[in-house]
Structure 1
Amino acid sequence: MRSPDIADPAARTAEAAAVDVREVEHVYGRGQAAVTALGPVSLTVPRGAFLVLVGASGCGKSTLLRLIAGFEPPTSGSVRIGGVEPVPGRGAGVVFQQPRLFPWKSVGGNVELALRYAGVPRQERLRRVPELLERVGLHDVAGRRIWQISGGQQQRVAIARALAADNPLLLLDEPFAALDALTRERLQEDLRQVSADTGRTSVFVTHSVDEAVFLGSRVVVLTRRPGRVALDVEVGLPRTGMEPDELRALPEYASLRATIGHAVRAAA
């Protein structure tokens, strides 16, 4: 394969961006059974951004996330993470709708295992497990088994595990969808703070317009299948220094929520 031409502006953009998606289409099945789920879609995500993908069910949000994670290749077009093709398990931490934890291990054991898979030496693992659990508010349940903690706490473990490897990219596929409203709001606040603390690039999939505005530094609305970009908007709200209720009370917050909500309904 020919190396990207460094004189080519498109190649330079792909190398500089955390995520670069170019003219991507994805088709499931073959022949008469083929279904075009996505595309064409082009997106460039700068390092440190928190991109939220929002849209109706079946619009291709999760498909796009899987392509970025490298779980499957696009039918056409290209996906790059930091200028290279994505490899599953490398380059990005992934959090799913269900935590997918090991129930026979403790909370700390699940996080320690992620560090071990990342090649972190034992003594370093022992130091970092408490730090990661502290970051997601679970320092006091490290010794409990997974079945002994709540669903919200389990999702926090999944986030800590995704943060365990020093990947520059965090991918989250509707991680709070199955949780009650209060737990969901608390975890939104936690994730927003973790994002501010770590500076990692994040791509987050949701159906919720409010969640998109609260979490994102940028929101992309996808159309119904095949998913294409219907709206791409910078959020521009303060990322730190405000309480959640204060943030949601801003006129700019209400305006963005209305704009994005209208785009989601129009694109469905």
Structure 2
Amino acid sequence: MSSGELAQTAQEADSPPAGSVRLDHVTHQYGRGGGAFTAVGPVDLTVPAGEFLVLVGASGCGKSTLLRLIAGFERPTHGSVRVSGAEPRPGTAAGVVFQTPRLFPWRTVRGNIDLALRYAGVDRAQRLERRAELLARVGLEGTEKRRVWEISGGQQQRVAIARALAADNPLLLLDEPFAALDALTRERLQEDVRRVTERSGRTAVFVTHSAEEAVFLGSRIVVLTRSPGTVALDLPITLPRGDVDAEELRGSREFAELRAQVSHAVKVAAAV
């Protein structure tokens, strides 16, 4: 092997994996001068590729701000954010799912997903197969021709998730996507997201204020203090993943203990 090939191999070995996230001493402020408000920071955080990280904390602790920084929608006031080793660019760094679906109401389910596939650069000839695959992944087979206003809120959020998965981004960001849904629909979508990310191998960063949701979804949980948000607890979750019975998992002693631990940590962090 030539010296050039050796250098290239070494560089590739040192390159951060696709989907990995790194925040180095990140602080973010809104406003300037005496009226500046520090929303988060300083935060140091590394998210390995394939991890499901949940950011949890009381309202206003900066969870959504961190998510916007990772998505590239905003740049930190101080410090650096890297996704797959590079500065994140909006629309390319990650697939993003918001609290509300933000679909185009004049388009059908098919139209919303096809638009995302087009922006993702998928050839027209491949869109039919790719769309069918996405709809099957989120459990929406047979809804292609229905308008957005003809499907339920839970189904709309499924379309939003499918749209976020349309691009081949190794990172998925979700900002309290189930907050407005009823309890039963919320649980079902939690199970769907858990399964989809496990099977796709994508890295996920999920924002919530619910300790139960955090424990069910996350392979790791980070609890933030009240504003300015800093890391109060960084907790790996050792519950089984993959094909598990959701009800059995939620009813287990280990789940209850972790939920209580996270809930307590959130209350303490909010009072700091």
Q: How do residues 112-131 of structure 1 correspond to structure 2 at under 5 angstroms?
A: 112-131=114-133
Counterpart in 1 of 2:204?
Answer: 202
* Alignment pair present for 1:166 and 2:163: no
Looking at structure 1, the residues matched to 78 and 253 of structure 2 have their Cα atoms a distance apart, in angstroms, of 41
Query: In 2 relative to 1, CA 169–73 (structure 1 residues): closer, same or farther, beyond 3 Å?
Result: same
Q: How do residues 73-152 of structure 1 correspond to structure 2 at under 5 angstroms?
A: 73-152=75-154
CA displacement, residues 1-21 of structure 1 (integer Å, 9 cap, x when unaligned): xxxxx9xxxxx5856771001
SS in 1 for 2:142: helix
1:141, CA displacement in angstroms? 0.8
Q: How do residues 180-191 of structure 1 correspond to structure 2 at under 5 angstroms?
A: 180-191=182-193
- Aligned-pair identity in percent equals 69
CA displacement, residues 154-209 of structure 1 (integer Å, 9 cap, x when unaligned): 00000000000000000000000011111101100111110111110000000100
Uncovered stretches (5+) of structure 2, i.e. residues with no partner: 1-7, 9-13
Counterpart in 2 of 1:176?
Answer: 178
Query: 1:97 corresponds to which letter in structure 2?
Result: Q
Looking at structure 2, the residues matched to 136 and 209 of structure 1 have their Cα atoms a distance apart, in angstroms, of 24
Looking at structure 1, the residues matched to 236 and 20 of structure 2 have their Cα atoms a distance apart, in angstroms, of 17
Counterpart in 2 of 1:258?
Answer: 260
Looking at structure 1, the residues matched to 243 and 196 of structure 2 have their Cα atoms a distance apart, in angstroms, of 14
Counterpart in 1 of 2:159?
Answer: 157
Looking at structure 1, the residues matched to 143 and 239 of structure 2 have their Cα atoms a distance apart, in angstroms, of 34
Looking at structure 1, the residues matched to 258 and 24 of structure 2 have their Cα atoms a distance apart, in angstroms, of 27
Counterpart in 2 of 1:26?
Answer: 28
Looking at structure 1, the residues matched to 188 and 19 of structure 2 have their Cα atoms a distance apart, in angstroms, of 30
1:146, CA displacement in angstroms? 0.3
Match of 1:57 among 56, 59, 68: 59
1:113, CA displacement in angstroms? 0.5
Contact 2:112 2:163 in 1 (8 A): yes
Query: In 2 relative to 1, CA 240–17 (structure 1 residues): closer, same or farther, beyond 3 Å?
Result: closer
1:129, CA displacement in angstroms? 0.5
Looking at structure 1, the residues matched to 17 and 174 of structure 2 have their Cα atoms a distance apart, in angstroms, of 23
- TM-score where L is the length of structure 2: 0.93
1:241, CA displacement in angstroms? 2.9
Once the two structures are overlaid, the 10-residue window that deviates more, 241-250 or 157-166, is 241-250
Contact 2:99 2:180 in 1 (8 A): yes
Query: In 2 relative to 1, CA 184–224 (structure 1 residues): closer, same or farther, beyond 3 Å?
Result: same
- TM-score where L is the length of structure 1: 0.94
Once the two structures are overlaid, the 10-residue window that deviates more, 122-131 or 223-232, is 122-131
SS in 1 for 2:122: coil
CA displacement, residues 78-103 of structure 1 (integer Å, 9 cap, x when unaligned): 00001000000002000000100011
Looking at structure 1, the residues matched to 210 and 149 of structure 2 have their Cα atoms a distance apart, in angstroms, of 28
RMSD: 1.5
Contact 1:17 1:44 in 2 (8 A): no
Counterpart in 2 of 1:9?
Answer: none
SS in 2 for 1:140: coil
Query: In 2 relative to 1, CA 17–115 (structure 1 residues): closer, same or farther, beyond 3 Å?
Result: closer
Q: How do residues 7-26 of structure 1 correspond to structure 2 at under 5 angstroms?
A: 12=14, 18-26=20-28
Query: In 2 relative to 1, CA 17–248 (structure 1 residues): closer, same or farther, beyond 3 Å?
Result: same
Count of aligned positions: 259
Looking at structure 2, the residues matched to 176 and 241 of structure 1 have their Cα atoms a distance apart, in angstroms, of 22
Counterpart in 2 of 1:225?
Answer: 227
Uncovered stretches (5+) of structure 1, i.e. residues with no partner: 1-5, 7-11
